[in-house]
Amino acid sequence: MFIKKFNKTKCVNGCELFNDNSNYLYWENRNVTNDEIEITDFLNNKYNNQNISILHIGIGNSYVATKLKKFINIDGISISMNEIILAKSLKIENYKSYFFNKLENNVFSNKIFSKYDVIIDVNIKSFCCCEYSFKKLFSDYNMMLNRNGIIVTGKRGMNWSRIIKPVIRFSLKKFFYKRLKEFDGPKSNILSLFECNELAKEHSLKLNNIDKTNIVTFSKT
């Protein structure tokens, strides 16, 4: 059953977006994606023992924070309050998690955000409501990037398009509970390397598809 009444916000183009911070289940108990595992290994090698700061968009089950906790500061965001509750329960020093919809107009002008060496978004375009919001999102990421910083995404995530809708489900264990359910999204959310190249040029970033991996980075020189 779909939920009709939930908190909403709007993107830069006026599209309505889910923004309800009551306890919706989503990715907190699901397996981390392969893209995120590869990205985490890559970052562990690249920044071994350096004190960098990361913005993680779509924290899922907080895999990134648990694997990189030794030497970094991480701010993470998600649209699932249950993911945030899990993240906070891990009590990882230097890991802060917040409920935000990344597509909300002006969301990144909030003072909690600063400048980052790395911005991770495995599903950089997957959940976008329209082209305007994606363009705005990407320029926000660029704006928050330190010199020599990188935006990191993954090719599998780039090939994935979804729409998330709030639903009520029933199970004998949990009775009625709220969760975010994925549906197929528009083809326009599939991001090609060609499009990435155009984005990189437009924002004076350098595009790199790391050798023999699915990792795609945009770096600021």
Ligand X SMILES: C[S@@+](CC[C@H](N)C(=O)[O-])C[C@H]1O[C@@H](n2cnc3c(N)ncnc32)[C@H](O)[C@@H]1O
| Residues in touch with ligand X (CB under 6 A) | 26-27, 32-33, 35-36, 57-60, 77-80, 83, 101-103, 122-123, 127
Question: How many Å apart are CA 7 and CA 16, to the nearest integer?
Answer: 10
Residue 74 vs 77, nearer CB to ligand X: 77
Q: How far is the CB of 221 from ligand X (least distance, A)?
A: 27
Residue 75 vs 83, nearer CB to ligand X: 83
Residue 33 vs 214, nearer CB to ligand X: 33
- Would you give the DSSP letter of residue 33? P
Residue 117 vs 140, nearer CB to ligand X: 140
Count of positions (residues) in the chain: 221
Q: How far is the CB of 80 from ligand X (least distance, A)?
A: 4
Contact 87, 77 (CB under 8 A): no
- Would you give the DSSP letter of residue 71? S
Contact 165, 183 (CB under 8 A): yes
Q: How far is the CB of 110 from ligand X (least distance, A)?
A: 13
Q: What are phi and psi of 68, to 5 degrees?
A: -110, 15
Look up tokens 């729409």; give the residue.
163
Q: How far is the CB of 46 from ligand X (least distance, A)?
A: 18
